[in-house]
Structure 1
């Protein structure tokens, strides 16, 4: 299964444009990976029943691309809906509910893009089509009311990624809370394979924990 998607869509409105190739996450600085890793919530801080682990740098990079929904080399249409590249390697921890396959992911990354800029990009994008290695997916994202938390900025998104390949398990549904403290972006995402209701209580709790830990440094 090819995981495809895009954070830069809004409210299911189709937008015209021209496709462009995504270059994926290409960090531009050599900041130590451990600098952000130490700010991740500990596995014991993930809510039950999400058994959590911190990912290796290579696995963290793949997980971050899955949250963006756009693999390196993908064709994105409209082209200006591709996510911007971060300025550091990501640090990622993932918790899994083994009974449902749902996951709860925390990603920390340094970025020179504000969430306001991201939201503006969301507002001028609509339904996005992403193609990679001959496989295409349609991505729709809805902006939700932001969580009332103490961060420089917060954004909430609901995203659905539907593969154009038929078959069960090829639809991903994500609910994401994004916060930013300085240049550190906090992405906490609940992801499931289907249309079931997201675990909002666990998502809010983990986002609060992640945000607090970043603020404390």
Structure 2
């Protein structure tokens, strides 16, 4: 695939949710509480019995003007790659920075995407079942702040900045700003994501604002849906 093909692919979100983006400013969280890592007696994450689908936000939980849809398991895999900035099957340098293998079945991953068509931006909430604390994943990301990906002859650069985790009632939290730069010099495309993460037991909650165009990130909506998503898991 040519670099132009990769650029076009990066401009397309799953289920036809096209967006354009710019580097995002920081996110201000208004939620309260203190994150304290928690685990079961044997050191593993405590399991939450409720299904992911039952804990996922619904389209009605997204404020206007966001139009939200719950993604099918088939669509989730592609959307997750878009949000992470690393295409499936891509060569990654450093080699140890490939994302962990993820099961996209309904018992392992659930995702809802809200789109602001005017701003051509999205807010995505993802729930995943995990078998280790968030601290382990944060340590991995900290070793992979500057990554180069290559697929079908096209190269992209993924940079990550770790931000303070949002204060919310979860076992642990994290936040990061990522920028994916692809395309040839003079015709580069920058895809930027601002992500809030919280873990409750064995369920990891991620909320990501993604955009390709000019303008400030919608921090208020990102905070709102993230807070509601974590609270819904906590209440399960």
Can you list the C-alpha shifts for 1:177-215, whole angstroms capped at 9, x where unaligned? Answer: 011111111110000004532111110100001001111
Aligned to 2:47: none
Deviates most, 153-162 or 187-196: 187-196
Rounded to whole Å, the distance in 2 between the matches of 1:167 and 1:45 is: 40
Rounded to whole Å, the distance in 1 between the matches of 2:202 and 2:59 is: 24
Deviates most, 90-99 or 117-126: 117-126
Aligned to 1:107: 126
The answer (yes or no) to whether the contact 1:135–1:165 under 8 Å persists in 2 is no
Aligned to 2:74: 58
The answer (yes or no) to whether the contact 1:138–1:164 under 8 Å persists in 2 is no
The answer (yes or no) to whether the contact 1:51–1:97 under 8 Å persists in 2 is yes
Can you list the C-alpha shifts for 1:30-53, whole angstroms capped at 9, x where unaligned? Answer: xxxx92122111101112211101
Aligned to 1:37: 53
Q: TM-score, normalised by structure 1?
A: 0.80
Larger radius of gyration: 2
Residue 73 in 1 paired to residue 89 in 2?
A: yes
The answer (yes or no) to whether the contact 2:182–2:188 under 8 Å persists in 1 is no
Structure 1: tracts of 5 or more residues without a match: 5-33
**Which structure 2 residues correspond to residues 175-186 of structure 1 after superposition, within 5 A?**
175-186=194-205
> 1:86, CA displacement in angstroms?
2.9
RMSD: 2.0
> 1:166, CA displacement in angstroms?
5.1
Matched length: 188
Ranked by relative contact order (alpha carbons within 8 Å, sequence separation 6 or more), the top structure is 2
Rounded to whole Å, the distance in 2 between the matches of 1:178 and 1:61 is: 18
